[in-house]
Every structure is written in C-alpha cells, then in structure tokens.
Structure 1
Amino acid sequence: MRSLLVCLLLSGSIACTATHANAPAADTHAEGPLPFIADDYARALAEAKAKGVPLFVDTWAPWCHTCRSMRAYVFTDKALAKHADRFVWLELNTDLTGNAPFQEKYPVEFWPTFFIIDPRQEKALLRFAGSATVPQLERLFEDGELAYKGGATGADALLARGDALYGERKPAEAAEALSLALAEAPADWSRRGRALESLLMAQYGAKQHVPCAQKAVAELPKVPRSLHLANGVLNGLTCALAIPEGTPEAADLRHALEAKAREVLAPPAIAMEADDRSGLYEVLVQARTKANDTAGAQGVASEWITFLEGEAAKAPNPEARTVFDSHRMLAAMTLKQPERAIPALEQSERDLPQDYNPPARLAMLYSLTGRLDDALAANDRALARVQGARRLSVLGVRADIYVARKDDAGVRKTLEEAIAFAKTLPASQVSASRVDALEKRLAALKAAASAP
C-alpha cells in the first residue's frame, strides 16, 4: 500500500525526506521465479536492448515495509515464472549511492516504484508506485508491453499516454490524460481500477489535492471490491488529508473517504497482502489525528496493532515478519505504549543481525521509555550498519537522544557529523532543504549556547 505522508523511521528533529541509506537485506528476489539483476542498470539496459524487450525495474529500499512485503510475499510467487522472458528484470536499492545515476534520470518519490522502460530510447513507458498483487502485476506487464509495441486505441491509448507522462514526471498532464481515459471508457472497462489509482497518484503529485479527493469520491463506487478499490481509497484519503485547513470541502471529503476506508476494511475481506490492509489503518489514524480526535486515533491504533501482531505471528520467516515492524512501532507510539513494540524489534535484531532497521527503531523506542543508555547503544549498532543518506535519519535520532540527556555537546557533535556527511552524498539522494534544516538546527544550538 502506498504510504505517501509518513516516513516510518521518524526523528523528532529531522524530517524524513526522499533520501535514504543502504543496508544489507535478504535477497528475496533471488529466491523468486523472476531473474532479477541486482543494482546494475547498465547491464540490464544492454540485455533489454539485445533481447528487444522492455526493462522492468523494481526500485526499493530496506526501510520500506511495502517494498519488503512485495519481496517477501509477491515476487516469490511461482505464478510469475511464466513471465520471466517478457522483460529484463532489474532491482535497484535506492539507498545505495551507486544507484544515484538512475535516480537522477528516473527520480523516485514513493516506495516501491515500478518502472517499465523502453530500452531503445531509455524512456519510462509506465511508472507505478505502491503495492500490487500478482494479477495486478500481470496487468502492469500487459500495459507496459502494449505501450512498448504501440497500437492501443481509445481509453487504452489514453491510459498509455497518461502512464508515459507520469513516467516523464509530468503529473498534471498525466492526470488530464487519465481523466479522459476514465471519461471515455465503457462502464465495464477492465482497466478502470488501475487507471483510477494512477490518476489519483498523478493528481497528488501535481498537488491537485481537492480534485483528487473529489475524483476518488465520484469514481470509487464504480470500482469492484478489490485491491484497486483499497489503493484508490488510500490515495483519495491521502489527498484529502493534504488539503489545507480552512478549505470548505476538506472536512466533508475526509469524512466520506474515511467511511470508504472503513468499508474496505470490513467483511467480506478483500484479497490483499497484510501490509496493504495495514496501510489503511495507518491512514485512518492520520485522519483521526487530523480531526484532533485522540481517542479515535487510539481506537484505530488498538485495532491496528492487534491485527499486526496476529499477522507477524503467522509470518513464514523473519524477513517476512519484519515487514510489520515499522507499523507495529507506529501503532504502539500512537497508543503511547512504545514498550509494546520493543520485544518484536529486539527479536528482529537477533534474527537479522546485518539489518540496521531494528536497532535504529529500538533507539527511538528506548528513548521514549526513558532507557537513554540503551537508546545510545542501539543507535551505535545502527550507525555501524547503515550507509548512504539514511545515516542522516539515524544521526537525527542520536541528536534527539542527546537532547533528552541534556548533553548539548553531544547534540552539536552529532549535527556537525550529519552536515559533513550530507555534503558528501549525491544530489539525487539528499535534498538541499534537508541540509539546510540541519544547518539551521546547529545554528540555533550555537546561538542558544552563546546567549548571555
């Protein structure tokens, strides 16, 4: 499920952005039926050109719970084996600095994002952000191949045009084409759900938040009860939550889309991965928080964490179980019970000793429970494993721990380290605004120290 508003390894001082870091993670693609090439765009592009087929790219990151869900539960499905020859397959960990050139050419804003690229022109024919079931992936394969070969007509042609425009980072133009596709398509158009998902994503990217939420309210009743419906509800409610306060339509749109989210979560169950269902709980928590309804947010969070604990208990292996760690942490924090998530994260660190995420998250939870020495120790373990821009978030948590310890020298040293490191990173993997925020925080700290 697409999580557009929240980065799940939050620091109280340094906001999460589209910049992350590398860390070892289980290569679950290697266990799957599709022959993914890992982190080598040049090789994959050359193979696609030689074979005369499109290039399918899975851009992912180790911190991204939906990415890990796709890798643990979907890309391992043997039903995908029959598609192995349709594309050249590439997986790119966007936390690796070596993948920065790809991100410069094809920027990634949401994780995971799947690209289908025409190797003849190095043009993105399709860009789809978020989760997908096997049948949804198969429809994406069909749409990508159709765009590669050409010849689509009517609504299908407009969908292909919208996909291409979104792939070219022209969300407003993509939204226009996708709106026309929905308007011109017959009522039983098989691609309606996917087109609506893509339209809402394009409108969000174009900051057309009111039209996006309005389109969701108008079009969702036409979408069959499926993951397309669930994703459409999530995208529409995300747009509604982004509408500025004071906008006349905001409250009514949020209310209508919250009701649709609860409807999607209610029986009969829609066939979707547990991570997708978890994403709906997440956005409902955000909606209740936006409405200043603390009790309502905690009520949703209680349902959410109970669901997550049940799903984690059923996970077939540690890698699959860790998919739920970040959401378990967020639900526990919403409940003001951070200690409830600590045992699960301690188990994940034991089971996945090379993964920086468990100790990084534990550092936050230990700090919230007053265990500041344990928090620093966990943060040390995370810093020993993390590389790339995600290191900035781990350092941000470290600075917050020093604040809690009333150690101004530690805060200052940590911020100076973060700024120096940020300036060594590729521009596509760290934003100027993030460096500016670090520098402003350090300047404020120095000013306070020198004040009489």
Structure 2
Amino acid sequence: MRTLLSSLLVVGLLACSTARNSAVSEPAASHARTPLPFIEDDYPRALAEAKSRGLPLFVDTWAPWCHTCRSMRAYVFTDEALARHSGRFVWLEVNTDLPGNAQFQEKYPVEFWPTFFIIDPREEKALVRFAGSATVPQLEKLFEDGERAYRGGAQGPEALLARGDALYGEGKAAEAADVFAQALAEAPADWSRRGRALESTLTAQYGASRYEACARTALSELPKLPHSASWANAAVLGLSCALQLPEGTADAQALRDSLEAKAREALSPDIVMPADDRSGVYDVLVQARMTAKDEVGGKALAEKWLTFLEGEAAKAPTPEQRTVFDSHRIGAALLLGDPMRVVPAIEQSEKDLPDDYNPPARLANLYRRLGRLDDALAASTRALSKVQGGRRLRVLSERADIYVARGEKDAAVRTLEEAIAYAKTLSGAQASPRMVESLEKKLAATKAK
C-alpha cells in the first residue's frame, strides 16, 4: 500500500557493501524462498548480466525497517505463480540500509519504500519507477509495461504510460504527472492499465507537491475503476494528498471528507488486498481523524486497527510473516497510549529473528516510554550491534533520548556526537544534509539542558 504519509511517519516509530554482513543479515526479509532468481546487493554484477543476456533489469529497492518491503517478501515474492516470469528480467534486490549500496541510490533516488525499478542496461536508464506494494497481478502488469518500454514501439495510451514512467524514473515528477494524466484522459474506459496509471499519476502528483490536483484526480477517476487493490491504493493516495493541503485551501475540508469516505470504503471485504495494505488504509484513516482533531474517533479507529493487526499476526504461519505487522502494531498501540500491549509481540520477534535489528530498536523505544530505562539501554545496545547505514543514526538518536531520561546528559551528548560523526562518513543518499542538521540541532538542545 503506497501510504505516503505512512512511509514518512511510521518510519519514525522506530523504527543495511555490496555483500551482506553477517551481523545484519535479514532472513526475515531476504528473497531466499522466491521463485525469482534475485541477485543480492550487487548492481555491477546484475547490470553486466542484463547486458550480456539482452534483458531489462528489475530492481527491488527495500529496507529492513519497511513493513511493506517485508510484506512483499513474505507474501508476494514467495508466490510460485511468479516462477514463469523468472526469465523475463535479470533480478536485483538493493538494501538501502547498506552503505555499499549508496552509489545505486545516488544514481536511482528512492523516496518511498519499496520502490521497483525496471532499468534499460544499455543506457542505465530507469524505464519504470513504481513506489509501493503490488499484488502478483499488479506485478505482472508492471513486467509487461517494463518490457514494452524496453522494446519500444508502444502506441496510444501505452506510449504515454511508458513516457510517464520514464520521466518519473528520471525524477521528473511534475512532468510525469502531466503525461500520466494525459494517458488517463485519452485511454478508453475499459483500458486495462487504468488502475496502474491512476496510481502512478497520484504518486507523481504527490511527489511534485500537487496535493490539490492529486486529491481531485483521485475523486474524479475512482468511479472509473472497479473495486480492487488499485482502487484502494488510489483512494488512500488521494486522502494522503488531501491531508497535505495547506490551511486556507478552498474546498480542503470537502476534499478530505469525500476522500476519507472513499478510504473507509476501501476497507470493504469485497476488495482483495494484502493485510499490510489493509493496515495502510487504517493508518491513513487514523491520521485523517487526528488531523480533524477528532481524538475520540481516531482512537476508536486505532483500536479497530490494532485488533485487526493482532488477528493477522496470530494467524501468520511464520515469524517472517508475523513481523510484517510489528511497526504498525506499535503505531496503533502508541496512539492508544498502551505501549505495553505490544511489548510481548516485539520481544517474541527478537527471539525468533535474532539477526534483525528492528525488534531490539523498537523495544528500546517502547521500554523508554514505559520508564524501563535499563531495559531500554540494553535493547539499544543489541540493536547497535546489528544496524548500519542511515538507520544507525535513528538508533543512536533514540539512544540519546534514553540517556536523557536517565539523567545522563554527558552520555547523551557523546552519543549524538557519535551519530553526527558517523553520518558524515555516509553518502548523502543515506544521510542527507537535513538529517545531519536535525542531529546537530538535537545536540545543541541537549547541551543546553
């Protein structure tokens, strides 16, 4: 589910060198059991193979903290129905936490996780950039669109869709949005790509900060789609845009109300979508209630959300599948003011997935909120032994919060100084100037206490 606000906000709850380090291996999120032959974290090798075989390159850019990324690995990329597509592309996965993957990120920037690229190896050009989750049928359409763009010769709306994909792949969100919108306008009513094109239009409009256009496009185009995962994605994308409208925007409240109603409709059981996507609907609906200053309504939805997540986690057949729901469970529990409700589940995730830095990092956050500061510091230490890249900065920042809560100002200052020094060793794709500035401000505020 491309819940764009969720991509930016839930990340903050916590919460990976070309080869994986054993300390940060992610059995929960690897493609080990997929029928698709993914190459792990080696873009030069994958590019050379794609050139030699004359095939486009399919890239899954993901991160271990990203619940939707993990959902794709646990529930979608494991589907044997994908086996028949294994020869269509050279397959690459890129863990954006790993400092060794920074060069890829600089060449192909990632704004939302996961992002799927289809790259022409002849020019190292992104033909398709698709952000968010996808079902197997949606992936199959993406495969077809990527191959069509690679071969060239598309006509009509398909040509416009390919052009929009290429522009978005180049980071030209505003131009891409215009071309996608043109494709929607010129396509016949029964166009098989309408759902995918609408999702891409809304994502590009969001990326170009065209929030009002995005909200209005969603409302005008949703009636043209059947109830489906794409319909649900579009409803939530539209609502996400409406929630970004600045105060004073004409009809802002009417747009929010209309799209909130559509997003509630997306929870209908007749729409088949992954549980993580359904969770994403709840997430944005809760945000809508909180934006409306309806705390009672927001908490009532959060209770339904958490109950749903607990049910999905209980029936997940593997720890890898169960942990998909951890971050959203934490978010809902914190909204309810009941962090203890999720502590046993996260503790179980750490037992089941000992190489994963996320459970101890999340436990550090929860324990701090519960006043269990010794436990919080110990959990933070366990997380730091596994995490690297930009996510390490998050863990260090939260470790400073633990020290502050313990009354250990000097230790908090040293921890933030360590974070800033480490950030300066990373590529700007993994530690942006804005991130460094935030850490420096936090350091100054901590020193001033």
Unaligned runs of 5+ in 1: none
Deviation at 1:72, TM superposition (A): 0.6
Instruction: State the alpha-carbon separation in 2 of the partners of residues 372 and 443 from structure 1.
Output: 23
Q: Aligned pair 1:240/2:235, yes or no?
A: no
The answer as to whether partners of 1:44 and 1:90 remain within 8 angstroms in 2 is yes
Instruction: State the alpha-carbon separation in 1 of the partners of residues 32 and 129 from structure 2.
Output: 23
Instruction: State the alpha-carbon separation in 2 of the partners of residues 11 and 281 from structure 1.
Output: 16
Partner of 1:335: 336
Q: Which amino acid aligns with 1:192?
A: R
Instruction: State the alpha-carbon separation in 1 of the partners of residues 81 and 13 from structure 2.
Output: 40
The answer as to whether partners of 1:11 and 1:396 remain within 8 angstroms in 2 is no
**SS, match of residue 12 in structure 2:** coil
Q: Aligned pair 1:4/2:7, yes or no?
A: no
Instruction: State the alpha-carbon separation in 2 of the partners of residues 324 and 316 from structure 1.
Output: 13
Deviation at 1:403, TM superposition (A): 2.2
Partner of 2:298: 297
Partner of 1:64: 66
For residues 277-325 of structure 1, give each alpha carbon's deviation from its aligned partner in whole angstroms, at most 9, with x where no partner exists.
0000000111111111111111111000110011001111101110000
Deviation at 1:241, TM superposition (A): 1.0
Q: What does 1:365-380 align with in structure 2 at a 5 Å threshold? A: 365-380=366-381
Q: Which amino acid aligns with 2:67?
A: H
Instruction: State the alpha-carbon separation in 2 of the partners of residues 84 and 155 from structure 1.
Output: 27
Deviation at 1:444, TM superposition (A): 2.9
Partner of 2:125: 123
Partner of 2:32: 30
The answer as to whether partners of 1:400 and 1:411 remain within 8 angstroms in 2 is yes
Deviation at 1:8, TM superposition (A): 2.6
Q: Which amino acid aligns with 1:230?
A: A
Deviation at 1:117, TM superposition (A): 0.4
Q: Which amino acid aligns with 1:351?
A: D
Q: What does 1:402-441 align with in structure 2 at a 5 Å threshold? A: 402-441=403-442
Deviation at 1:9, TM superposition (A): 4.4
The answer as to whether partners of 2:13 and 2:327 remain within 8 angstroms in 1 is no
TM-score by length of 1: 0.95
Q: Aligned pair 1:145/2:134, yes or no?
A: no
Partner of 2:49: 47
**SS, match of residue 113 in structure 2:** coil
Deviation at 1:443, TM superposition (A): 2.1
Partner of 2:18: none
TM-score by length of 2: 0.96
Deviation at 1:207, TM superposition (A): 0.5
The answer as to whether partners of 2:314 and 2:322 remain within 8 angstroms in 1 is yes
Q: Which amino acid aligns with 1:196?
A: L
Partner of 2:383: 382
Partner of 2:308: 307
Q: Report the number of matched residues.
A: 440
Q: Which amino acid aligns with 1:32?
A: T
Q: Which amino acid aligns with 2:418?
A: E
Deviation at 1:11, TM superposition (A): 6.1
Q: What does 1:25-424 align with in structure 2 at a 5 Å threshold? A: 25-26=26-27, 28-268=30-270, 270-424=271-425
Instruction: State the alpha-carbon separation in 1 of the partners of residues 289 and 407 from structure 2.
Output: 33
Instruction: State the alpha-carbon separation in 1 of the partners of residues 26 and 3 from structure 2.
Output: 21
The answer as to whether partners of 2:365 and 2:376 remain within 8 angstroms in 1 is yes
Instruction: State the alpha-carbon separation in 2 of the partners of residues 370 and 439 from structure 1.
Output: 26
Deviation at 1:441, TM superposition (A): 2.1
Identical-pair percentage: 68
**SS, match of residue 429 in structure 1:** coil
Q: Which amino acid aligns with 1:172?
A: A
Instruction: State the alpha-carbon separation in 1 of the partners of residues 50 and 223 from structure 2.
Output: 40
Deviation at 1:258, TM superposition (A): 0.7
Deviation at 1:445, TM superposition (A): 3.0
**In angstroms, what is the RMSD of aligned CA positions?**
1.4
The answer as to whether partners of 2:13 and 2:331 remain within 8 angstroms in 1 is no
Instruction: State the alpha-carbon separation in 2 of the partners of residues 267 and 35 from structure 1.
Output: 34
The answer as to whether partners of 1:9 and 1:393 remain within 8 angstroms in 2 is no
**SS, match of residue 29 in structure 1:** coil
The answer as to whether partners of 1:328 and 1:341 remain within 8 angstroms in 2 is yes
Unaligned runs of 5+ in 2: 16-20
